[in-house]
Amino acid sequence: MTAEPVTTGTGVPPRPGYDARLDPDLLARLRADAAAITARYPDPRSGLLPMLHLVQSVDGYVSRDGVLFCAEQLGLTPAEVSAVATFYTQYKRHPNGTYTVGVCTNTLCAVMGGDAIFDELSEHLGVGHDETTEDGAITLERVECNAACDYAPVVMVNWEFFDNQTPETATALADDLRAGRPVAPTRGAASVCTFKQMSRVLAGFPDGRADEGGVAGEPTLAGLRVARERGWTAPQPETAHEAPAAGGTTTGEPEAGEPGSSAEREPATPSDTTESPHPGDPGRGKGEAR
């Protein structure tokens, strides 16, 4: 989209933003990526969330230049962009570490050891919530529920899962990250990328790892198994127009939990079939990392 110069409304000439500090090739790629984002939506302003991730992939946080760039590309004011960027915790307003280590301290993880993990990591790394280690490797965060409670307590590194953690495994994980040693999540993708790389993925530019992992694990399926053993089923719709076809939904797809549903899809990638025992188990798969 054609960008109009961003004005501050104060009579002060606008800062040149990225034009003054990014090399021309990078700036051209950034503008091409921004155009690809706005093309996804009928109204360009709908692309603000991925656009904020895009500028984070350049600066490692939503910088002032990044705010101006988003405003320029989407026809918004800098104040409108800042209002969104300051609302969501995934957007960082100061330089982030290479890895965000997020410890879930929401209710279930907290009682299962999340608070102890956070305290241990905080002391080990010498930083508190939303602070970054001096070497720039790790930003430590308390995070809210990641919908992974069946694997509590959960630690995430750049939003990849490290399940069933302990203070010991979490500090060893942090040490590996700071030393540049490869680490492998306990499910999902087989590796962890940098915060900038993850930000680009979240902007909607896949890195090819999305299909790694993905099969529901035993803790997630435990309730389904018990329901089948006891013959429990979901309540049926009461009205005729809501009634699904026998053995499926109104679209003919199997209900969640039924044979053939997504929870039981066949393994599709090598990492689907890779063993990923709990941390500390002998013979832990995926490169033996925590």
- Of 25-33, 53-61, 144-152, 256-264, the segment contacting ligand FES by CB under 6 A is 144-152
- Taking CB under 6 A as the binding criterion, the range among 90-98, 101-109, 165-173, 195-203 that sits at the site for ligand FES is 101-109
In whole angstroms, how close is the CB of 187 to ligand FES at the nearest point? 13
Q: Which two tokens stand for residue 71?
A: 């405003």
Please give the Cα distance from 21 to 170 (Å, whole number).
38
Query: According to the binding rule CB under 6 A, does residue 155 interact with ligand FES?
Result: no
> Which residues have a Cβ under 8 Å from the Cβ of 250 and sit 6 or more positions away?
242, 243, 244
Sign of the CA dihedral with 24 first, then 25, 29, and 35 last: positive
149 binds ligand FES (CB under 6 A): yes
Determine, following the binding rule CB under 6 A, whether residue 117 of this chain makes contact with ligand FES: no
Q: Which residues contact 226 (CB under 8 A, 6 or more apart)?
A: 232
90 binds ligand FES (CB under 6 A): no
Query: Least distance from C-beta 222 to ligand FES, angstroms?
Result: 16
Give dist(CA 282, CA 276) in Å, integer.
Answer: 11
When asked if residue 157 is in the footprint of ligand FES (CB under 6 A), the reply is no
Residue from 149, 154, 172, 160 nearest 104 by CA: 154
Q: Binding residue for ligand FES (CB under 6 A) from 109, 117, 125, 215?
A: 109
* Beta pairing partners, 156: 102, 161
Q: Which of 146, 191, 194, 274 binds ligand FES (CB under 6 A)?
A: 146
Site residues (vs ligand FES, CB under 6 A): 104, 106-109, 145-146, 148-149, 152, 154
